[in-house]
Amino acid sequence: MTKPMGNTLTAIALAAVAFGTVAAADEAADLVINGDQEMVIRTAAPEHLSDVLDEINSGWLYRKDETQLLQMDDFDNPGMIFVDLAQDAWNAVDGSEEKSCASCHDNVEDTMKGVRAVYPKWNETAGEVRTLAHQINDCRENQMGAEKWKYTGGKMTAMEALISVQSRGMPVDVAIDGPAQSTWEQGKEMYYSRTGQLELSCANCHEENFGNMIRADHLSQGQINGFPVYRLKNAKLNNAHARFKGCVRDTRAETYKPGSPDFVALELYVASRGNGLSVEAPSVRN
Amino acid sequence: MASGVKPRVKVPKTAAAGDAITIKSLISHKMESGQRKDKEGNLIPRSIINRFTVEFNGKSVLDMAMEPAISTNPYVQFEALVPEAGDFVFTWYDDDGSVYDTTKSIAIG
Amino acid sequence: MEFSRRETLALGLGAAVVTVMPFSVNAAADDVIATFTGGADMADTGIELTAPEIAENGNTVPVAVSAPGASAIILIATGNPTPGVAQFNFGPLAASQSASTRIRLAGTQDIVAIAQMADGSFAKASATVKVTIGGCGG
């Protein structure tokens, strides 16, 4: 579905004006973590998006100063305690095979570097696109003989955060062609479909109105480079499907199940809209 | 003992004698305020960290009383004097009687 | 949707009542203060309270207090169901009488910090924090 250039320019112009009027957000700010890890928080839109957006940017930019600060130091970032907890889980033996993640994957810093940046991705053996959470549960069930974790539960989001941190600063780079293409197309269609009693599509807010206020919230582009995200609202880590579920529910539609093929497709598409931004996880947002 | 309660504290490895250092501390804890209701409409009882103390070589740096208005995963940042090498002991006291602690050593250099 | 004149007046009066209501005035907050100060006067200098003007989210609001020379500082949220938030007692190895933490605010309200100084006197600072209901999924 193509959009006339006019709508996009209007949206961007509105966004520029809106930024100027929102007192505490500094759109020129840069995100450097721990004083030395520079994040790419704004960059040229990836090719598949260049007909509707010139620039993609991180949700970090849309938050107030105090919230932005929370992400700039790993001892201010409340999401990092869950990375610590997951590090313990990484080393803990669990399941009938008497293995821990470390038994096969050694040190997480070495073996998981770059992994998060390319997920969701096509799994040849499984014959489907898989998310990180699916892969974690696959390993647990089939390699460790351990119980699967709840898709949006604390143990899963903490492990996602531990693995994501190993890709922090690397550009998001999910494949949208080859065997993943049909899943990607499905996700794209969902993104642009109006749904629910409120008849809103993801694009209505996150492509046509980023930079504007929705009630008291500053709308971002809805990028997921920062997921799993520590939300101030519920004071815990949240992964993409948990957030999607809420977003769809907020359009007053029947929402989808985390882990479902619908959300896998949507996650692949939304991730691809952020191709080029740095993996920021665990990020801190509203 | 609540599960998943883990401290996370940042203390520099070294300091000059007499330096003031900034310490950032956090502990993962739900801090159930006692205001929330469960699905049946019953109040979920309060269960929080109610006190946080910091000592250096046995001398007090900070003794903080916390109430339910402290956010989940309580975070406290403060400044401490480092007269000599030694150990910072951080202790959190839970309503349920549990005590969590962690020690960070600092050298003079 | 048609409103009768009677209904419109009633709606209007309701709205007027809501707008006239002040920020939560909390007698309990006064009690907490009185317990700490014993009713003594409070100077309005000597203590700093840093809080955002508009909280990103009322569940986690970063605040900081600082009162050089204080032995203790209390923090109160006058509009919360229970106003007490924290009491910081500074020991001999505190490098400064200051601390930051993150608090929950139930709604727009004044927060108050009171320091007890080494000489037994008191100082007070307050700040108004606006707490909004979020947008989508907020």
Q: Could A85 and B6 be called an inter-chain contact, meaning their C-beta atoms sit closer than 8 Å?
A: yes
Q: What is the pLDDT of residue A22?
A: 39
B65, B50 Cβ separation under 8 angstroms: yes
What is the percent of chain A where pLDDT is above 70? 91
B68, closest residue in chain C (CA to CA): C85
Degrees, nearest 5: CA angle B25-C108-C80: 65
Residue C67: name the closest of C86, C85, C48 by CA.
C48
Measured distance CA(A154)–CA(A239) in Å, rounded: 10
Which positions in chain C touch B74 (Cβ < 8 Å)? Answer: 101-102
Cα C12 to its chain centre, rounded Å, is 31
Measured distance CA(C124)–CA(C127) in Å, rounded: 11
B7, B100 Cβ separation under 8 angstroms: yes
> How confident is the prediction for chain A on average, in pLDDT?
91
Q: Mean pLDDT, to the nearest integer, of A105-128?
A: 97
Task: Measure CB to CB from residue A235 to each of B4, B6, B71 and give the nearest one.
Answer: B71
Degrees, nearest 5: CA angle A206-A169-A228: 55
Whether the upstream peptide bond of residue A282 has omega within 30° of 0, thus cis, is yes
Q: Which of residues 104-123 of C touch B (CB under 8 A)?
A: 104-105
Q: Mean pLDDT, to the nearest integer, of A208-235?
A: 94
C63, closest residue in chain A (CA to CA): A66
CA distance C110 to chain B (A): 14
Q: What is the pLDDT of residue C6?
A: 67
Instruction: Please check whether residue B85 touches C, CB under 8 A.
Output: no
Q: Could C82 and B69 be called an inter-chain contact, meaning their C-beta atoms sit closer than 8 Å?
A: yes
Q: Could A246 and C52 be called an inter-chain contact, meaning their C-beta atoms sit closer than 8 Å?
A: no
Residue A13: name the closest of A220, A208, A145 by CA.
A208
Indicate the helix (H) or strand (E) that contains C117: strand C109-117
Lowest mean pLDDT, pick from A37-51, A210-224, C70-84? A210-224
Which positions in chain B touch C95 (Cβ < 8 Å)? Answer: 20-21, 79-81
Which positions in chain C touch A232 (Cβ < 8 Å)? Answer: 56-57, 59-60
pLDDT-derived band of residue A215, with 50, 70 and 90 as boundaries?
Answer: confident
Name the phi and psi angles at B78, rounded to 5: -155, 175
Judge if ipTM > 0.85: yes
Which positions in chain A touch C63 (Cβ < 8 Å)? Answer: none
Strands (E), B1-109: 7-10, 14-15, 19-27, 49-56, 59-66, 75-82, 86-94, 99-108
**Number of B–C residue contacts, CB under 8 Å:** 96
Whether residue A3 is predicted with pLDDT greater than 60 in this model: the reply is no
Q: What is the pLDDT of residue A217?
A: 86
Q: Could B69 and C85 be called an inter-chain contact, meaning their C-beta atoms sit closer than 8 Å?
A: yes
Summarize pLDDT for A170-197 with one digit per residue, the tens.
Answer: 999 999 999 999 999 999 999 999 999 9
Residue A171 gets which letter from DSSP? B
Q: Mean pLDDT, to the nearest integer, of A38-67?
A: 96
Whether the upstream peptide bond of residue C92 has omega within 30° of 0, thus cis, is no
Summarize pLDDT for A87-102 with one digit per residue, the tens.
Answer: 999 999 999 999 999 9
Q: Which of residues 33-62 of C touch B (CB under 8 A)?
A: 59-61
Q: Which of residues 47-106 of B touch A (CB under 8 A)?
A: 71-73, 75
Summarize pLDDT for A57-82 with one digit per residue, the tens.
Answer: 999 999 999 999 999 999 999 999 99
Which positions in chain C touch A221 (Cβ < 8 Å)? Answer: none
Strands (E), chain A: 32-33, 37-38, 42-44, 55-57, 121-123, 128-130, 213-214, 217-218, 229-231, 236-238, 283-285
pLDDT-derived band of residue B9, with 50, 70 and 90 as boundaries?
Answer: very high
Q: Could B70 and C101 be called an inter-chain contact, meaning their C-beta atoms sit closer than 8 Å?
A: yes
Q: Show the low-confidence residues of chain C (pLDDT under 70).
A: 1-3, 6-25, 134-135, 137-138
Q: Mean pLDDT, to the nearest integer, of B76-104?
A: 98
This prediction has a pTM of 0.89
A116, B41 Cβ separation under 8 angstroms: no
Indicate the helix (H) or strand (E) that contains A269: helix A261-272
